Structure 1
Amino acid sequence: MNYHSTEVRQRALILLRGGAKNADVARELNIPAGTVGAWKHKDRARRGECPGAHKPTCPRCDGRPMDLAGYAYLLGQYLGDGHISHYAGHRAPTLRITCADSWPGVSRETERAMRAIFPENRVNQVSKVGCHDLKVVSKHLPCLFPQHGPGMKHTRKITLEPWQQEIVNAYPWEFVRGLIHSDGCRTMNWTTRLVGGERKRYEYPRYFFTNKSDCIRQLFTDTLDALGLTWTHCTRHGNPYNISVARKADVDLLDIHVGPKY
């Protein structure tokens, strides 16, 4: 790869700003025309001269309308399988939500929510083994997800801001759906019963939500309480990581509003 000095780049920009054509600058300085074009584009973008160049707006900073139902779902996904990182050399942080390849419908729903909340930003997909990340870059991510902070989510306190709680109160099923789509499942349990003196196997559906964070589990169960659903803690290796919903009437409601992953 050829590297060009700062002096060469500055000379090229002076010529370009003076009206010189890309090809003429490339010939004069003996550098590829593509390099000249890239320098010109970055220079114009930095000065706000690119056609249609604008700064993406933010519902929190600028009052732009937001898809509240989509946000409630995306918030649940973020608390479950999402994280925000600020990579070296990047001007803005990146939100990544990991989706299993086994559930393409959940991935499509997550991507739709991301596009609805960040309509002016590109949503990309990064493939991994057995899963993929959906990612969006925006300087306003901390505005919309103030739970972001150093370290893993289960190692620090997670609470909702009042404005977030208002959205969850208005769209509780979307929030529950996002949480279950990220860290939950619908499964079949079984037990045995004596029927006419004979022991028979009995199967029944159950929803689980699993998360190491006490705070995130509390957000989930608080929302279930508000919806009037009954839940229980199920320990895993002595730790109460699992929340179970097994009562038939409650499972029926979850089937209507959440359903199995797809």
Structure 2
Amino acid sequence: MSLHSLDVRQTALTLLRSGVRNAEVARKLNVPAGTIGYWKHMDRAKRGECPGRGSHDCPRCDGVPLDHAAYAYLLGLYLGDGHISHYSGHRTLTLMITLDDHWPGIQDEAEAALRSVFPTRGTCRVRVKGAHNIKVYSKHLPCLFPQHGPGRKHERLIALAPWQQEIVDEHPWSFVRGLIHSDGCRITNWTVRKGKRYEYPRYWFTNVSDDIRALFTDTLDRLGVAWTNCTRYGKPYNVSIARKESVALMDAHVGPKY
């Protein structure tokens, strides 16, 4: 396989950004057309742009239908335990959601959501220690998840695009469910009052990103779910839902992991 210098690649990107067609750039620089197309795709993805038409299966590029409820759930999973990456040897992008083997039902639900959002793409599971990576491949992943970017999520701004916010507003419980299934849990707390032990259920959500926690709590506010911020060891990473009425709402729409 021929290797091309950074100067050649940058020249190609400069021409492509100016509107020169792929085939013309390939002839001018004596680079295979497939390589030029791949460089163009990766450049657009890095800048948060749609990679363009061609596969005819992207809701953003091609206007195909999108399952909004499944997408809201998948968005919650992605913000918690998912990431998009490109591996050498693959000429496309991978969305991978890592889910604990203690909760096989959530793994099934996550894969079902992937199939609903990407009906023309195959999904797969890859075993890792104590968990499975639920995966799908598509060059249009940055179209549907514009939060993708270099570095860790908590080290960069995470904000929903207007069209994403509309979907979350339409299906807020699906979004909350995805966030809890990734970075949350339902536990039983206990306390002692007047020498008697009392137990009560509580939901926890833990995420290092201030932006992602705000997306979670803003959605809870719209749903009428009371929450408190819990700081541990000086880190404000935990959100608690413990009021009886709010726990009942969460039980009705989210429930324990399974």
Q: TM-score, normalised by structure 1?
A: 0.77
Determine which of 220, 231, 240 is the counterpart of 2:216. Answer: 220
Determine which of 235, 238, 242 is the counterpart of 1:239. Answer: 235
TM alignment of 1:10-25, pairs within 5 A: none
Greater radius of gyration (CA):
1
Q: CA deviation at 1:56?
A: 4.8
The amino acid that maps onto 2:233 is H
1:183 matched to 2:179: no
Determine which of 195, 199, 203 is the counterpart of 1:203. Answer: 199
Q: Give the 3-state SS of the residue equivalent to 1:190 in structure 2.
A: strand
TM alignment of 1:126-165, pairs within 5 A: 126-165=126-165
TM alignment of 1:1-262, pairs within 5 A: 55-194=55-194, 199-262=195-258
Which residues of structure 2 form unaligned runs of 5+?
Answer: 3-53
Q: For residues 185 and 55 of structure 1, what CA distance do their matches in structure 2 show? A: 38
Q: Give the 3-state SS of the residue equivalent to 2:136 in structure 1.
A: strand
Percent of aligned pairs with the same residue? 66
Task: Give deviations 1:36-88, integer Å, cap 9, x for gaps.
Answer: xxxxxxxxxxxxxxxxxx83510111110111000000000000000000122
Q: For residues 77 and 236 of structure 1, what CA distance do their matches in structure 2 show? A: 24
Q: CA deviation at 1:220?
A: 0.1
Q: Give the 3-state SS of the residue equivalent to 2:115 in structure 1.
A: helix
Q: For residues 114 and 205 of structure 2, what CA distance do their matches in structure 1 show? A: 22
Aligned residues: 207
The amino acid that maps onto 2:244 is K
The answer to whether the 8 A contact 1:56-1:120 is kept is no
Q: Name the Cα RMSD after superposition.
A: 1.4
Which residues of structure 1 form unaligned runs of 5+?
Answer: 7-53
In structure 2, the CA distance between the partners of 1:217 and 1:234, relative to structure 1 (3 Å rule), is same
Q: For residues 144 and 174 of structure 1, what CA distance do their matches in structure 2 show? A: 16
Task: Give deviations 1:222-247, integer Å, cap 9, x for gaps.
Answer: 00000011100111211010000000
Q: Give the 3-state SS of the residue equivalent to 1:108 in structure 2.
A: helix
Q: TM-score, normalised by structure 2?
A: 0.78
The answer to whether the 8 A contact 1:56-1:121 is kept is no
Q: For residues 55 and 155 of structure 1, what CA distance do their matches in structure 2 show? A: 32
